[in-house]
Structure 1
Amino acid sequence: MEQNSAARQFHGALGGTCVEKAPVPPPGGVPARLHGAPDMLRVAWSGTSFPARRTGR
């Protein structure tokens, strides 16, 4: 979510870029469950910049 600055910094540090922004649907369809009118963000990485997953021990 756009309001989650820690997550935005984390994904940005890994080379992620916001490619889409859309309103967050209210949980269970109840608008009162949202604080304000937050947006959700979709983050994407270019083909070579996505962080590799470590498989060794």
Structure 2
Amino acid sequence: MEMQRAIHIFASPDTIKVHLAGQPVWIEELDHANGMATVQVGSRPANTMTVSVDRLQEGE
């Protein structure tokens, strides 16, 4: 995923599905300068990871 799309998804009032390695994630924070995203994996708020935005995929 490109950073511009991640920014749009993060700011959207709609729920847009995003996956990381096939697992659903929620974008929690974006680091524009470094192209990184902190995401919540699954439904546990404490289960977060910081990954490159290009590893995220939009879709089902």
Query: Based on CA coordinates, which of the two structures has the bigger radius of gyration?
Result: 1
| TM-score after normalising by structure 2 | 0.26
- Considering Cα pairs closer than 8 Å and 6+ residues apart, tell me whether 1 or 2 has the greater RCO: 1
More strand by share: 2
**Which structure has greater helix proportion?**
1
Using structure 1 for the length normalisation, give the TM-score: 0.27
